[in-house]
Each structure stands twice: as structure tokens, then as C-alpha cells.
């Protein structure tokens, strides 16, 4: 649990979205572009993914003000083949580029049954699960990935040469909750190592290495070293898969060619994303999919829990339950985030 | 290292392929179908993946003879949308169905830039990397997966409800070796736990659970329990992703609906596979891809090795190097495999 000040009001989704749109308009985005960005970040907060939600107004805002991100990006889409869309983000805000790519992939998939959008010239695009949710709500199964600033060493290597690239998927479930998975390639997030360091506790084998790429259980040493990918060489390979499809094939930057938004906030990152969508309505009827998804989830839920307090769940349940609860009770944001939203919103054109 | 009798000759690829074709003809397959199956299994052996190569003649042969696999399968392909192919394997030998699905996906991708084939009515289709290699040789980047007999418990569950489903990818590299990754979802193969048991050594945390789904370091207890997926809930999610695309969306069986070829060798498994292909020639010129792939590999190779004896490699290098060496020196198979191939080949029609 983060200990942060969140003393303010519980926001309703519509009200928070309106404020977020004004904040991004205050940072120079046209209304429709601000709405795209707000949509992804508000869903992230609804899912409980607060590190990837409106708190990003801080880094996105800094970079927009420094000119590191283009507030008036002219995102363009080319179609080199019927099912393929190449998206040039023109260094726009990541979720704006992501939404253009998602719409392009949905358009291609509606025509061809399958659609792939490859985006370049982008920036951090938020979490993946909001895109997977939108795709699922429109009937598309999705595999989505993005590359990222380098923080992981190649397997057996000793310096940061690949990103902790996120990979996600979604499958529509007309009769219930869609399946949504959104994962990075490291065993744990860096925050877990920081927490162990604060508590003075060792970390388990397999979480991280020292700065020379050697295994360590010392959280202090690990913080100067590298996160380890899941399954060792397997996670290394998966991270490369994501970068090859999101970065190399999209004509974006990849590996160490991706600029760090921390070290160079005023420069374009040229991040890349991929969106692979399949139109499930071409595969069978809604009843067919409803029954199969119900059966699939039931088989998993019916596995007796190893710990009776923790029943088996399917990917996405936690986030979708949280969304439902927060749509009832409202979303409470950190005070600093609300203050920043208001500060930028105050500059929005009337 | 497996200690098995392999005292025989070093086979040249052509000669071994001819014998394998005769063996599958002896098991009742038409010549062209036997050639498809032999092609995948011989490449598996060339890659050094002997557990997924011609040694499979034993289980495939038993099931063909029992009628559990259909020797005269009529594999059919439907196209519900321009980029989509639904393949009905008619309970044929897995690599036969896999080759039909791969060709269908290449056909769709050549027309639409992207092609997806979803196969049902199949069986164990060998390793993934031979399919990824063929796709890469034809210019297609690929993501390929298959579901499998259940051997893994859901995350937090306590009985086998999902398969250790393989997932693979490939990216063409016109100037060098393609990138090929082929991985299952468990941290380690069951054989590694068996080896620890034989040596009387404990296994590391995170490899396996007991039969109640609780963590164990005891290899004997683990052999009665379940393999753990990479990254815990992340590998669980990835295994579900593969089964949703390979099994559920393809209209094949999924999870516990997949029949075990060990427990019921005489029954159809109704396994499913997915093939997602992107035509890289629609993305840029051959020179463009050559230069980017060279640069991508160089960035990884140039990371100083944590252990000087083990330089950084990229996925597929080990297998492709082994293939090159065995194409020079020949392939040595286990004696029992050669004997079985000869036994079945003796019954082939003249």
C-alpha cells in the first residue's frame, strides 16, 4: 500500500473525466485529443492502476511543457495492406497515439476479420488493460504490447538494454466479464524491492541482479542492479518479442534506441506499440462465445483453492470488480494529482 | 543429458526425412501428409529438440494404430473473413494439421498483410520453432501457440486444469539468423524435477507445488504435484491467453475438455492451435529489415556477459547453430527411435 495523501473527495467518473479533459486542454491538446487521453487514464484509475492513471499528469505534463511531447500531434494512419495499419504518432501523448492505433486496428479487423496496427513516434501509453477492455466491448479479442525505456539486462548480460515491456490481452465475454491480462516482464516491480530495502529484509532469489548482472538477495544492491524477467531466459525472450513487434517492425525505436523520459524529458522517445485484433463475431455466434467463456471461467473457478481464503480468479477480475465498486463509490485520487489537474485545467481555453 | 543408447549412424537430413516419410506411410498416411509430418519432426531433431522430434513416432504411432489419431484425415480450411482461416484438422496427426494451418495463415497474410489461422480437431503438433522458421523463411513474422493436456493448476488452485501450453514467435532476418522463441509456461520441465529426485537434492522455490497446490522444495512431493508457471500469476495468465486463442476461439477443446493422450490414447484430443502472421514485406524493404535486425542483435550481443564464459545470445541461436552443425555432421538418433521408424517403414506401400 502506498502511503500518500488522499484526503479529498470521491470523484464520479464523468466529473473526473471532464476535469482531466480540461487539464490536457490546458496543456495544449485539442478537445478530442484530450478526451482520448483522459479516457485511458480514467479507466486506469477505475481499475485501481493508479501508478498508470491520472498521476501520469505529472510526467506527461512536464514533457508537454518542455516540448518533449507534441501537444498538437497530427497522428496519421497508412494502410499498406488490407488488414495492416501503420500509425505515425507524431510524438503525441501516448494514450492519444494508442487510441488512434486501437481504432485503426478495429477498423481493419471489422473489414478483414483480423487487424494489426503498428504505431511509432509515440510515448508512454498508460496501462494496456483499458485498450483491451474497449476492444472486448466492441467484440474484438486482442493482443497488445508496447516497448519501454531500457531497465532490464539481456539474459546473461550486465547492462540495461531492454525495456520491462508490457504485454496484454483481452477476450470478450458477452455474458460476463471479459478476460483481461496486463503484465510487464519483470518478476516484480521495482517498488517491491524498495519496500524490502525500507524494511531491511532480503529479497527472494530470482527477483534481481547486482549492477554486474549477478544474482543478489540484497535489496540495496538490487536497486543499483537490474530487475530479472519472469522465467529467466523465457521472460527475456518475451520482452524481445514485444520489442520486435512494437518497436522494430513498427519502425519506432527499440532497445537502447528508445530515449528515456527520465533522463531526456525534452526529447521524443519514439516508442512503439502493436495491436493485434481478431473479430470474434466472425468465429461464431454470440451464444456460442457466451457459453464457451462461461464454461472456461467455471472450470478455473471450480478448482479447489490451495488457501481457502483465496479462491481461484481469472485475469481481469480484480480490476473489473474494482471498476464496478468505484463507479458506485467514486474514485479518490492523491491530493497532489488533483492539485496538478486543477492547475493545468485553469489554463484551458474557455 | 539423457543417457540413452544412440550408437547408430549419423543420418543426413534427406535420408532421415525419406525414412520418416516411409514410416508415416507405413502408419497409413498418404505420401504428401507423411511428408508434412516428417518435415516438422526432422527440423525438431535438427534443432536438438529430440523430445519433440522423431522420437514422437512412438506416441503418434501408438495412437494411429489404436485409431486415436486419424491416419487419413481430410483437413479442411474455411475463410470466414479475408484475413481469417478456420482449420478443421479432422483429428489428423498434429504436424499435418499444423502445416495446413501455417500454409493457410501464410496465404491470408500474403493477401491482407496479416493472416490468422485457428485450428481445431488436432493433436500434439511438435515444437513451435520449426513452424516459426518456415514462416520466417517466407518473410512472415509469427506468433504461434497450442493448447495441451492439463498438467498445471490454476494460480492458487489445487488440481490440473490447464496445459503447459507452448507459445512461440519468429521474426525474419534477411541478413542473418531469424529470431525464434519457443517456450512452455512452466519454470522448468518435469524432467528437471525428476533429475533432482534421482540425485536426492531439493528443488528451488518456485518450481512446483505439492498435490494440494502448496509450495514445495521436495522433488518427490513435487512429482505428485504441479509445475508452477513462470512469474506465478503472470505465467498462469499467459497459459490462459494461449488456451483462449488456441482452444476456445478456434472451436477446439480447452482446459480440462482436452483429452489426455496418455490416459486415452484411442480418443481424439481435439487440441487447438493459433497462427498469427504478419508479412514483413508490407512494412518496409528487405534492406530496411536487414539493417534493423542486424542492429537489434548487435545491441544485445554487445552487452558485457555477467559470466565471461557465457556471452549474451538471442533466442533461436542455439537451435539454428545446432541445425547448421548437424547438417554437416549428420543427426544421431536413439536406437529405439530408429528401430521404430524402420518397423513402421517396412509396412509402407511400395
Chain A residues in contact with B135 by the CB 8 A cut-off are none
Return the pLDDT at A4. 58
Asked if B209 reaches chain A (Cβ–Cβ under 8 Å), the answer is yes
| pLDDT number for residue A192 | 87
Q: How high is the pLDDT of residue A106?
A: 98
Are A285 and A147 in contact by the 8 Å Cβ rule? The answer is no
CB contact under 8 A, B254 and A83: no
pLDDT of residue A262: 83
Contacts of A156 (CB under 8 A, 6+ apart): A213, B305, B306, B307, B310, B311, B312, B313
Contact by Cβ (8 Å): B316, B178: yes
Q: Give the pLDDT confidence score for residue A263 in this predicted structure.
A: 86
Question: Looking at beta carbons, which residues of chain B come within 8 Å of A233?
Answer: 315
Q: B82 and A306: CB-CB below 8 Å?
A: no
Q: Going residue by residue through chain B, which has 350 residues, state the pLDDT in tens, using 9 for 90 and above.
A: 344 566 778 999 999 999 999 999 999 999 999 999 999 999 999 999 998 999 999 999 999 999 999 999 999 999 999 999 999 999 999 999 999 999 999 999 999 999 999 999 999 999 999 999 999 999 999 999 999 999 899 999 989 999 999 999 999 999 999 999 999 999 888 888 988 999 999 998 888 989 888 889 999 999 998 899 998 899 999 999 999 999 999 999 999 999 988 888 999 999 999 999 999 999 999 999 999 999 999 999 999 998 999 999 999 999 999 999 999 999 999 999 999 999 999 999 98
The answer to whether the Cβ–Cβ distance between A299 and B255 falls below 8 Å is yes
Identify the pLDDT of residue A2: 43
Interior CA angle at B38 toward B35 and B43, to 5°? Answer: 125
Nearest-Cα distance to chain A for B161, in Å, is: 7
State the count of interchain CB pairs (< 8 A) between A and B. Answer: 249
The predicted pLDDT at position B350 comes to 82
pLDDT at residue A5, rounded to an integer: 67
Read out DSSP for A308-348?
TTS----TTHHHHHHHHHHHHH-BPPPHHHHHHHHHHHTTS
Q: Identify whether A241 is part of a domain.
A: yes
For A76, the domain range is 13-186+229-284+328-345
Other Cβ atoms within 10 Å of B122 Cβ, number: 35
Q: Would you give the DSSP letter of residue B305?
A: B
Gap from B300 CA to chain A (nearest CA, Å): 6
- In this prediction, residue A161 carries a pLDDT of 93
In a domain, A109, yes or no: yes
The number of domains in chain A is 1
| DSSP assignment string, B100-139 | HHHHHHHHHHHHHSEEEEEEEEE-----SHHHHHHHHHTT
In chain B, residues 240-299 whose CB comes closer than 8 Å to chain A: 240-241, 244-245, 248-249, 251, 254-257, 276, 278-280, 282-284, 292-293, 295-296, 299
Indicate which of A114, A206, A227, A245 best probes the interface with B, i.e. most B CBs within 10 Å of its own CB.
Answer: A114
Q: Between chains, do B313 and A214 touch, taking CB under 8 Å as contact?
A: no
- Listed by number, the residues of chain A in 9-68 with a beta carbon closer than 8 Å to a beta carbon of chain B are none
Q: Is residue B169 part of a domain?
A: yes
Task: Please judge whether A112 and B306 are an interchain contact, meaning their C-beta atoms are less than 8 angstroms apart.
Answer: no
- Report, as ranges of residue numbers, the positions in chain A whose pLDDT lies below 70: 1-6
Question: Average per-residue pLDDT in chain A?
Answer: 94
List pLDDT tens digits, range A218-266.
999 999 988 989 988 999 999 999 999 999 999 999 999 999 888 889 9
B12 CB burial (10 A radius; 0-12, 13-18, 19+): middle
Query: How far is residue A142's CA from residue B221's CA, in Å, rounded to a whole number?
Result: 38
CB contact under 8 A, B241 and A143: yes
Bridge partner residues of B106 (DSSP): none
d(CA A48, CA B50): 46
Asked if residue B310 belongs to a domain, the reply is no
Is B33 a member of any domain? yes
- Flag whether B322 is in a domain: no
In a domain, B125, yes or no: yes
In the prediction, which pLDDT does A350 show? 82
Q: In chain A, which residues have their Cβ closer than 8 Å to the Cβ of B241?
A: 143, 169, 181
Supply the CATH number for residue A340's domain: 3.30.1370.60
Q: Is the pTM of this model over 0.90?
A: yes
Whether residue B298 lies inside any domain: the answer is: no
Mutation target to probe the A interface, by most A beta carbons within 10 A, among B151, B291, B312 is B312
Q: Taking a contact as any Cβ pair under 8 Å apart, which residues of chain B between 81 and 110 contact chain A?
A: 81-84, 86, 108
Nearest to A230 among B231, B245, B306 (CB): B231
Q: Distance from B306 to chain A by nearest Cα, in Å? A: 5
Q: Take residue A148 and report the three cell numbers written for it.
A: 519501454
A270: left (phi over 0), alpha (psi -120 to 50) or beta: left
Distance CA B88, CA B268 (A): 13
Amino acid at each position: 500500500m502506498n502511503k500518500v495523501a488522499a484526503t479529498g473527495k470521491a470523484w464520479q467518473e464523468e466529473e473526473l473525466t471532464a476535469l482531466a479533459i480540461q487539464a490536457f486542454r490546458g496543456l495544449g491538446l485539442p478537445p478530442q485529443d484530450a478526451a482520448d487521453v483522459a479516457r485511458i487514464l480514467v479507466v486506469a484509475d477505475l481499475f485501481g492502476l493508479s501508478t498508470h492513471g491520472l498521476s501520469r499528469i505529472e510526467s506527461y505534463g512536464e514533457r508537454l511543457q518542455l516540448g518533449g511531447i507534441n501537444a498538437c500531434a497530427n497522428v496519421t494512419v497508412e494502410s499498406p495492406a488490407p488488414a495492416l495499419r501503420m500509425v505515425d504518432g507524431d510524438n503525441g501523448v501516448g494514450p492519444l497515439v494508442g487510441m488512434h492505433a486501437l481504432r485503426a486496428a478495429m477498423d481493419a479487423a471489422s473489414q478483414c476479420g483480423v487487424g494489426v496496427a503498428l504505431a511509432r513516434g509515440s510515448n508512454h501509453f498508460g496501462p494496456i488493460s483499458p485498450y483491451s477492455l474497449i476492444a472486448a466491448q466492441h467484440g474484438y479479442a486482442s493482443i497488445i504490447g508496447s516497448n519501454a525505456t531500457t531497465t532490464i539486462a539481456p539474459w546473461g548480460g550486465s547492462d540495461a538494454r531492454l525495456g520491462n515491456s508490457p504485454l496484454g490481452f483481452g477476450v470478450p465475454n458477452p455474458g460476463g466479464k471479459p478476460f483481461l491480462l496486463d503484465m510487464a516482464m519483470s518478476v516484480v516491480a521495482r517498488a517491491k524491492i524498495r519496500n524490502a530495502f525500507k524494511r531491511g529484509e532480503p529479497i527472494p532469489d530470482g527477483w534481481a541482479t547486482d549492477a554486474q548482472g549477478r544474482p543478489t538477495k540484497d535489496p540495496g544492491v538490487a536497486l543499483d542492479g537490474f530487475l530479472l524477467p519472469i522465467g529467466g531466459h523465457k521472460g527475456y525472450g518475451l520482452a524481445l518479442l514485444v520489442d520486435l513487434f512494437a518497436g522494430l517492425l513498427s519502425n519506432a525505436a527499440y532497445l537502447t534506441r528508445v530515449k528515456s523520459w527520465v533522463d531526456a524529458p525534452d526529447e521524443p522517445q519514439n516508442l512503439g506499440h502493436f495491436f493485434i485484433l481478431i473479430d470474434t463475431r466472425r468465429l461464431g455466434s454470440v451464444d456460442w462465445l457466451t457459453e464457451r467463456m462461461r464454461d472456461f471461467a467455471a472450470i478455473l473457478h471450480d478448482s479447489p483453492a490451495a488457501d481457502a481464503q483465496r479462491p481461484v480468479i481469472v485475469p481481469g477480475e480484480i480490476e473489473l470488480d474494482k471498476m464496478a465498486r468505484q463507479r458506485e463509490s467514486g474514485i479518490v485520487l492523491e491530493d497532489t494529482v488533483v492539485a496538478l489537474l486543477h492547475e493545468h485545467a485553469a489554463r484551458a481555453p474557455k
